């Protein structure tokens, strides 16, 4: 029981990691990038190719892939998001969905239906574990991913609060025109924010590849996990995202014990329950106060 609780919390770290970029982008640009999961899977494949073809360990591979992801983020904002947002708030949804379809199917065209994993390329890390008091073992990789998630979420928070670019990002998010009056180039700032978001997507892709397997169409599921974690935690809040990821993962590991399909069902169900609760709990509380 305690064991599965701990495993669940650690898995929540992965969800928080993949959700961090999604909720960062949402809080800054008010855009939900539907290609978010597909781009994480793309990063996974890039690391896979580097490891398989050139023998580069995924950890060194990140030194190449993260800048590539940042560049993709910059270009994505410049050529897709910025342009489509000017045509209305709904158009980025359509554009990024189209992009996701293109990325998924290009990956399928290139890599076929086989599932891939980075696990063979990270040495003993894929099965190393720490022993906790009470004879409980936790996977070292899961712990590292959790720590990465905390560092990324904390880093984003610090970046927004204390750096010049963070202030520029917040100002642009608040009111791009007024930010422009005091000399902030909102297009550049948003492109930098998108680049930062895509760096976290690269990290999430690495975590996905190391802890599990993925295939060309895995992006959709990853997007849903990221979205659920972000919504459960309260979209836009940094530490809420971590809690959201943990709640999602705990629900999934609880569901998995009931039925083989329970893992996914419980995850989606907890998301809907949170949505329902958001609507009806405030009303209930209000009614009780009046009574």
Q: Which residues are near other proteins by CB under 8 A?
A: 26, 31-32, 34, 79-80, 83-84, 87-95, 97-102, 105-106, 108-109, 220-221, 223-224, 227-228, 231, 235, 259, 261, 264-265, 268-269, 271-272, 275-276, 278-279
Shortest CB 19 distance to other proteins, Å = 12
Q: Decide whether 23 or 148 has the Cβ nearer to other proteins.
A: 23
Classify the C-alpha dihedral 246-251-255-257 as positive or negative.
positive
Shortest CB 56 distance to other proteins, Å = 28
Can you give 220-285 as a three-state secondary structure string? Answer: HHHHHHHHHHHHHHCCCCHHHHHHHHHHHHHHHHHHHCCCCCHHHHHHHHHHHHHHHHHHHHHHHH
Shortest CB 233 distance to other proteins, Å = 13
Shortest CB 223 distance to other proteins, Å = 7
* Separation between Cα atoms, residue 249 and residue 88, nearest integer Å: 35
| Beta bridge partner(s), residue 129 | 139
Enumerate residues 6+ apart whose C-beta is below 8 A from 15.
Answer: 225, 226, 228, 229, 244, 245, 246, 248, 249
Tell me the CA distances in angstroms from 130 to 136, 138, 230, one per residue in order: 8, 5, 29
Q: Decide whether 139 or 262 has the Cβ nearer to other proteins.
A: 262
Q: Decide whether 26 or 146 has the Cβ nearer to other proteins.
A: 26
Q: Decide whether 84 or 200 has the Cβ nearer to other proteins.
A: 84
* Tally of CB atoms within 10 A around 139: 17
Shortest CB 94 distance to other proteins, Å = 5
* Tally of CB atoms within 10 A around 84: 19
Q: Decide whether 81 or 206 has the Cβ nearer to other proteins.
A: 81
Shortest CB 126 distance to other proteins, Å = 28
Q: Decide whether 89 or 154 has the Cβ nearer to other proteins.
A: 89
Q: Decide whether 29 or 118 has the Cβ nearer to other proteins.
A: 29
Shortest CB 26 distance to other proteins, Å = 7
* Separation between Cα atoms, residue 274 and residue 28, nearest integer Å: 24
* Tally of CB atoms within 10 A around 91: 15
Q: Decide whether 79 or 137 has the Cβ nearer to other proteins.
A: 79
> Phi-psi bin for 234: left (phi > 0), alpha (psi -120 to 50), beta?
left
Shortest CB 121 distance to other proteins, Å = 27
Residue carrying the six token digits 């984003």: 156
* Separation between Cα atoms, residue 228 and residue 239, nearest integer Å: 15
């Amino acid at each position: 029981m305690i064991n599965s609780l701990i495993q669940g919390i650690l898995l929540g770290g992965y969800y928080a990691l993949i959700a961090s970029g999604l909720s960062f982008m949402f809080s800054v640009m008010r855009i939900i990038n539907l290609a978010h999961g597909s781009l994480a899977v793309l990063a996974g494949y890039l690391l896979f190719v580097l490891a398989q073809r050139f023998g580069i360990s995924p950890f060194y591979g990140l030194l190449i892939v993260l800048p590539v992801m940042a560049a993709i983020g910059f270009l994505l904002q410049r050529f897709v998001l910025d342009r489509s947002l000017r045509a209305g708030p709904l158009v980025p949804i359509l554009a990024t969905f189209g992009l996701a379809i293109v990325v998924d199917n290009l990956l399928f065209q290139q890599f076929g239906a086989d599932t891939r994993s980075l696990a063979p390329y990270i040495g003993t890390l894929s099965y190393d574990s720490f022993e906790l008091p009470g004879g409980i073992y936790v996977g070292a990789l899961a712990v590292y991913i959790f720590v990465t998630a905390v560092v990324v979420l904390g880093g984003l928070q610090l970046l927004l609060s204390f750096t010049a670019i963070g202030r520029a990002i917040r100002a642009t998010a608040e009111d791009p025109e007024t930010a422009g009056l005091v000399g902030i180039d909102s297009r550049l700032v948003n492109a930098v924010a998108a680049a930062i978001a895509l760096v976290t997507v690269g990290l999430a892709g690495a975590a996905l590849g190391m802890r599990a397997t993925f295939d060309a169409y895995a992006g959709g599921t990853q997007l849903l996990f990221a979205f659920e974690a972000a919504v459960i935690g309260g979209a836009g809040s940094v530490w809420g995202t971590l809690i959201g990821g943990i709640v999602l993962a705990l629900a999934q590991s609880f569901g998995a014990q009931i039925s083989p399909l329970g893992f996914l069902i419980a995850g989606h169900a907890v998301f809907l329950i949170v949505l329902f609760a958001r609507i009806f709990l405030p009303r209930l509380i209000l009614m009780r106060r009046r009574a």
